[in-house]
Amino acid sequence: MLEVSHVEMRFGQKEVLRGVTLTLHQGVYGLLGPNGSGKTTLMRCIAGVYRPAAGIIRTPERIGYLPQRFGMFKQLTVYEAMAYFAALKQIPARTQRKAIMECLEQVHLADRADDRIGALSGGMVRRVGIAQALLGCPELILADEPTAGLDPEERLRFKNVISNLRGGPTVVLSTHIVEDVESTCDHIILLYSGKVLAESTADDLRAQAAGKVFSVPADKRCQLQQPYHLLREEAGTGTLRVLSDLPQPGDLAAPTVEDGYMLYIRGRM
Amino acid sequence: MIRSIRVSNRVFYRGLSLPMSYGLVLAATLASLIRLTQGALSPVDYLTDSLKLGIFGVLYFALAGYELTSMLRKLGGQECLSAFPGAQCGLLFSHILVLLPLLAVWSAVIFGGQVIYFFQQGLDYPPYLLHCLLAVMLYCLLPGLDGLLLGALLERTERPSAYGTVVLAVLLSSSVCDELFAGSSLFGVSPMAVLDWFHLTVPNGNWMADANYGVPMEFCRWCLAAFWCLVLTSVLLWQYRRDGGRAVPIAAAILLAAALLCAARFALRGEDDLLLKDSRPDGILSSEYQYRANHPTGELGVADFSVEEYDLKITAKGALKVSTTVNLSRDDLREYRFTLYHGYEVSSVTDERGAALPFTRDGDFLDISAPDGAKAFTVLYSGKGWKYIANEQAITLPGYFPYYPIPGHLALWADGSAQTVTGLPPARFRVEVTSPRTVFSNLPKTGHNQFEGVAEAVTLYAGLVDETVRGRASYICSPVGREQIESIDLERADRLWQEWCEITGETRTLDLAGKTVFIQPDTISACGKGDSESVVIFDDHILLANMNSTPETICAYYLLEYLPSDAERGLLRDVFKQDLVVGIGNWSGEKPDYDALQILREYPSMDALNEIGDEEQWFAAVEQYTSASERFHALYAWQCSQLGRDTVLREVYQYLKDSTPSQDQVTFLYDLGGAS
Ligand SMILES: Nc1ncnc2c1ncn2[C@@H]1O[C@H](COP(=O)(O)OP(=O)(O)O)[C@@H](O)[C@H]1O
Ligand SMILES: [Mg+2]
């Protein structure tokens, strides 16, 4: 279980976290928010990298943390790097090898265990980062933008790894890409400008957007009723996807999580 | 921690640039050591020169320390570690630990150079190896460690500013800044005083080591090196105070306290520090010349009393501290006049009942008033003896230097150079020296660093000094100096003196055989022409310059010492001395022409030519003078061939002794054996 209460953080004059309060139980949580909303800062506070200016954070003892930027000595092999993290996590030497290989297995790097990190691609290094976060059966896993730099196939694989964890630890993934959280996360936390806007689920977000998303043909653009929020122009069909509380000249579209997310964000942009 | 060390090890050795640059540093160090070996240096000079490599240690280990410790941050892995308490701190110190053996190996190579040179030179004095080891530790190992810690401290800085800081640190600890700021002053503070705080490596070219003293390694130097190590480690720990649990800030605080203690000790070093031989205006050598220029010697006078007994309790740690009890020959005087070197500050004078007596100090003079007379005084004083060193590393207190009160007002300085005090009536001395070193003296030994006996003066030596016995003679000198005790045969000197007395008619006696010989260290620089310190003869011991002492030089020095030293007869005196010491050679040609010697009569010495203002004329005169003085030598040789060498020696000696000569030196030599 993870408890964050009234956490504040500032860099100089800039307030980055403004009273964040959260209680997370078992399950996969998606920390969703646009760039600069304070996701990384919050993750760092939880992981113990930063000490918050105010507030209390209660975490379980064993934490796996994948920072936004992960790197390791290029001279070490994947296995040696993992062994170093295993030692830091105080995994007993007897079970170390097994634990490491299991984690590498999960990120499909078991066959690269003896390769130097310097010889791996950026995506593979990222996967080593994921593997080290998984190491030692942590009760809390924090992954900051875990899918950044992964190709679609690796992204899918990561989602599977997370799905497999379901029912075990508390997992917090931060991302600015709605798609990432849609399928994997049980819960979604919307962070905006250092504040939690909502704690919700994918279905919930979708439900909230129901009846508010319209598909408007491009030639009816001038008939749109204010206020509305243009989500995007679909290039192929030339239709506009519009979010609005008012009826609009077009068909109602099936709502997505992103639409729900935008419902929260739009007024503030 | 073991895991972190293993990681650091792999990171270092599997990399390319760090091991390769280390290999280069090692190779360059080896090459410099080998090059120095070919320089035919004395062991101490070899040591001093190889210690200059210390600066490369600071540079390399600062850069290596920075590169290794900042590597993970640059790769973006630091944040991952910060989630584990103590991990960053642990990794940082493992990086330092991994570089330490490399630093040790590099220092060991420099020390190894000393060991090889030691055996190559056939030295038989193991304490010197310990001295080398300590010197390498102080001037290579510890500065390297300081560099390493500095590099680690810069771990969070970007490369340009980190390298800039390292270069600045290297410049500060090298002699470059010394050369820049020597002799200048900012707001009344000499920059040298500030720069001395950074002098971790052997600072500059003026800095010399001598065979007795060895490389300056006073206690305060160790304090300075320790200060930087402690302060850097403390700051390093402080940076990780949040990371490593409570022990880290506590350790940082303890180290800082220790660093402050070291800093205080170094700040209070006063002058117990021979690095002051550097370019500072108050440096140990130039300060005395400055003092003498501003303080003319007062009125001289012999004492109407003598000291029968001296009881000297000497502490040689940093400054010299002495408690002297003197028993006097007379107790009916109102004032007792003494000479005691001006650098010693007298704190009290008491009589035998312990009552304080008034005294005045005027330069080298110490006048004690005794309203009711006194039979004995106890004088307490402390201070610095200029080039006559007395500290925990070495003692060079020659008996001719008044480091204890000598009756009378005597001159310690004349014609721009130090004078020796000799020819005093013998007294009984009881001497006790407190020093971490074994002290050697002319007096018989009665215990560890305790001496007692009757003598004209007491000479005390300690440091890289040992006693060598050859036949009846005992030599106190540095076994690592380039001294030539082989050539100093005192019995031969006595025989030679006999011969010379018979030839010249001299009646003074010289009885050197059996006396203890003290070889003066280089710092005394007792080898200048006409230097009164190059041969000093006492009733039971003699002090000789380090350079070229032979029976001939000793006897010639003794023979000429009491002659008038006027410039008008300088040329003949030189020729005479040359004949005595090395011989003048034969002359089979004609007698040189008197007129060709004319310029020597106009200008009795080369220096006198300086009054010729015009440069062209001066050049011409110098040329003429040089060839005339060659002819003068020839004339001397011609006279020897005509009259016999013994006759010439006798006549010339009598002429040189004459306090009011009736002829100039040229006419005298020309007309020797009858005017023609
Ligand atoms: N170390 C720092 N110093 C100053 N400002 C920072 C620092 N880290 C983050 N910020 C600022 O805090 C805000 C939130 O940053 P961050 O937590 O990285 O957001 P996110 O991860 O959601 O993109 C941004 O405006 C960023 O500029
Ligand atoms: Mg971020």
For residue A54, give every residue at least 6 positions away whose Cβ sits within 8 Å of its Cβ, in sequence order, or none: A6, A7, A8
* Ligand 1 atom closest to Cα of residue A37: 22
For residue A55, give every residue at least 6 positions away whose Cβ sits within 8 Å of its Cβ, in sequence order, or none: A4, A5, A6, A7, A8, A19, A20, A21
Question: Cβ atoms within 10 A of the Cβ of A214, count?
Answer: 22
Question: Cβ atoms within 10 A of the Cβ of B654, count?
Answer: 13
Distance A145 CA to ligand 2 centre (A): 7
d(CA B115, CA B93): 32
- Residue B276 pLDDT: 46
Residues in chain B with CB shorter than 8 Å from the CB of A51 are 242
Give chain A's contact residues with B (Cβ, < 8 Å): 44, 47-49, 51, 63, 65-76, 80, 83-85, 87-89, 116, 129, 132
Which of B17, B69, B70, B80 should be substituted to probe chain A, the one whose Cβ sees the most A Cβ atoms within 10 Å? B80
d(CA B349, CA B380): 6
DSSP secondary structure letter of residue A225: P
The residue whose two tokens read 């507030």 is A55
CA distances from B598 to B374, B384, B566, B670 (A): 62, 51, 19, 12
Backbone angles phi, psi at B7, to 5 degrees: -60, -50
d(CA B447, CA B469): 20
Backbone angles phi, psi at B55, to 5 degrees: -65, -35
d(CA A219, CA A215): 12
For residue B264, give every residue at least 6 positions away whose Cβ sits within 8 Å of its Cβ, in sequence order, or none: none
- Structure token digits, residue B344: 């010693």
- Residue B141 pLDDT: 95
Backbone angles phi, psi at B348, to 5 degrees: -160, 155
Question: Cβ atoms within 10 A of the Cβ of B38, count?
Answer: 7
Question: Cβ atoms within 10 A of the Cβ of B304, count?
Answer: 12
Distance A144 CA to ligand 2 centre (A): 7
Distance A40 CA to ligand 2 centre (A): 4
**Which ligand has the minimum distance to the alpha carbon of residue A31?**
1
**Cis-peptide, bond into residue A60, ω within 30° of zero:** no
Backbone angles phi, psi at B44, to 5 degrees: -70, -40
Contact A84 B4 (CB under 8 A): yes
Contact A88 B81 (CB under 8 A): yes
Polymer length of chain B: 676
Distance A33 CA to ligand 2 centre (A): 9
Which residue's alpha carbon is at the smallest distance from atom 18 of ligand 1? A40
Contact A70 B77 (CB under 8 A): yes
Question: Cβ atoms within 10 A of the Cβ of B299, count?
Answer: 7
- Structure token digits, residue B179: 């050369």
Q: In this structure, which residues have their CB less than 5 angstroms from ion ligand 2?
A: A 39-40, 68
Q: How confident is the prediction for chain B on average, in pLDDT?
A: 86
Contact A80 B87 (CB under 8 A): no
Strand partners, A191: A196
DSSP symbols for A87-132: HHTT--HHHHHHHHHHHHHHTT-GGGTTSBGGGS-HHHHHHHHHHH
- Structure token digits, residue A69: 């930027």
d(CA B577, CA B584): 9
d(CA B192, CA B177): 9
Query: Nearest to residue B274, comparing CAs of B218, B323, B328?
Result: B218
Question: Is-contact A39 A191, C-beta < 8 A?
Answer: yes
Which of A61, A73, A130 should be substituted to probe chain B, the one whose Cβ sees the most B Cβ atoms within 10 Å? A73
Question: Long-range contacts made by residues B414-422, C-beta under 8 angstroms, separation at least 24?
Answer: B414/B297, B416/B289, B416/B292, B417/B528, B417/B531, B417/B532, B418/B532, B418/B533, B419/B532, B420/B532, B420/B533, B420/B536, B421/B339, B421/B457, B422/B456, B422/B457, B422/B536, B422/B537, B422/B538
d(CA B358, CA B233): 53
d(CA B319, CA B269): 10
State whether the beta carbon of A44 lies less than 6 angstroms from ligand 1: no
| Mean pLDDT in consecutive groups of 10 residues from the start of chain B, 676 residues | 85 88 94 89 88 91 93 86 83 92 95 93 90 94 95 92 94 78 69 81 68 85 93 91 80 94 86 51 69 86 90 89 92 90 93 89 91 88 86 90 93 84 92 94 94 95 89 85 74 91 87 88 64 83 80 87 81 88 81 84 79 82 88 89 88 88 86 74
Question: Cβ atoms within 10 A of the Cβ of B640, count?
Answer: 21
d(CA B49, CA B493): 37
Question: Is-contact B13 B19, C-beta < 8 A?
Answer: yes
In chain A, which residue's Cα lies nearest the Cα of B71?
Answer: A73
- Residue B531 pLDDT: 64
Query: Nearest to residue B622, comparing CAs of B633, B607, B636?
Result: B607
For residue B138, give every residue at least 6 positions away whose Cβ sits within 8 Å of its Cβ, in sequence order, or none: B217, B221, B222, B225
- Structure token digits, residue A249: 């000249």
Q: Give the type of residue at B492.
A: R
DSSP secondary structure letter of residue B137: I
Tens-digit pLDDT profile for residues B142-199: 999 999 999 999 999 999 999 999 999 998 887 777 777 766 667 777 777 788 888 8
Residues in chain A with CB shorter than 8 Å from the CB of B7 are 73, 76, 80, 84
DSSP secondary structure letter of residue B439: P
Question: Is-contact B363 B409, C-beta < 8 A?
Answer: no
Contact A87 B3 (CB under 8 A): yes
CA distances from B264 to B235, B268, B271, B496 (A): 18, 6, 14, 57
Task: Give the residue with greater pLDDT, B116 vs A236.
Answer: B116
Neighbouring C-alpha atoms within 13 Å toward the C-beta of B120 = 15
Nearest to B82 among A48, A72, A84 (CB): A48
For residue B211, give every residue at least 6 positions away whose Cβ sits within 8 Å of its Cβ, in sequence order, or none: B42, B43, B44, B464, B477, B478, B480, B481, B482, B483, B521, B522, B546
d(CA B149, CA B145): 6
Residues in chain B with CB shorter than 8 Å from the CB of A71 are 72, 75-77
- Residue B203 pLDDT: 62
- Residue B439 pLDDT: 95
Per-residue burial over B41-55, b if 16 or more Cβ lie within 10 Å, else e, is bbbbbbbbbbbbbbb
In chain B, which residue's Cα lies nearest the Cα of A64?
Answer: B83
Distance A43 CA to ligand 2 centre (A): 9
Question: Cβ atoms within 10 A of the Cβ of B117, count?
Answer: 20
Determine the distance in angstroms separating the CA of A65 from the nearest CA of chain B, rounded to an integer.
7
- Residue B1 pLDDT: 75
Residues in chain B with CB shorter than 8 Å from the CB of A73 are 7, 10-11, 71-72, 75, 77
DSSP secondary structure letter of residue A268: G
The residue whose two tokens read 């969703």 is A32
Over range A34-61, report the average pLDDT.
89
Nearest to B83 among A48, A74, A129 (CB): A48
Contact B75 A71 (CB under 8 A): yes
Question: Is-contact A174 A31, C-beta < 8 A?
Answer: yes
Question: Cβ atoms within 10 A of the Cβ of B184, count?
Answer: 10
Which residue's alpha carbon is at the smallest distance from atom 17 of ligand 1? A38
State whether the beta carbon of A69 lies less than 6 angstroms from ligand 1: no
d(CA B474, CA B452): 18
Contact B83 A75 (CB under 8 A): no
d(CA B457, CA B440): 14
d(CA B629, CA B631): 5
- Structure token digits, residue B545: 């310059």
- Structure token digits, residue B26: 């090692």
Contact B79 A51 (CB under 8 A): no
Which of A62, A84, A120, A141 should be substituted to probe chain B, the one whose Cβ sees the most B Cβ atoms within 10 Å? A84
3-state secondary structure B183-236: CCCECCECHHHHHHHHCCCCCCCCCCCECCCECCCCHHHHHHHHHHHHHHHHHH
Residues in chain A with CB shorter than 8 Å from the CB of B15 are 75
Question: Is-contact A196 A216, C-beta < 8 A?
Answer: no
Give chain B's contact residues with A (Cβ, < 8 Å): 3-4, 7, 10-11, 14-15, 71-72, 75-77, 79-85, 87, 242
For residue B516, give every residue at least 6 positions away whose Cβ sits within 8 Å of its Cβ, in sequence order, or none: B442, B473, B474, B475, B476, B540, B541, B542
State whether the beta carbon of A175 lies less than 6 angstroms from ligand 1: no
Would you call A233 exposed, middle or buried from its count of C-beta atoms within 10 A (0-12, 13-18, 19+)? Answer: middle
Q: What percent of chain A has pLDDT over 70?
A: 99
Model's pTM, two decimal places?
Answer: 0.83
Nearest to A69 among B11, B79, B83 (CB): B79
- Residue A269 pLDDT: 46
In chain B, which residue's Cα lies nearest the Cα of A41?
Answer: B79
- Residue B264 pLDDT: 93
Residue B100 three-state SS: helix
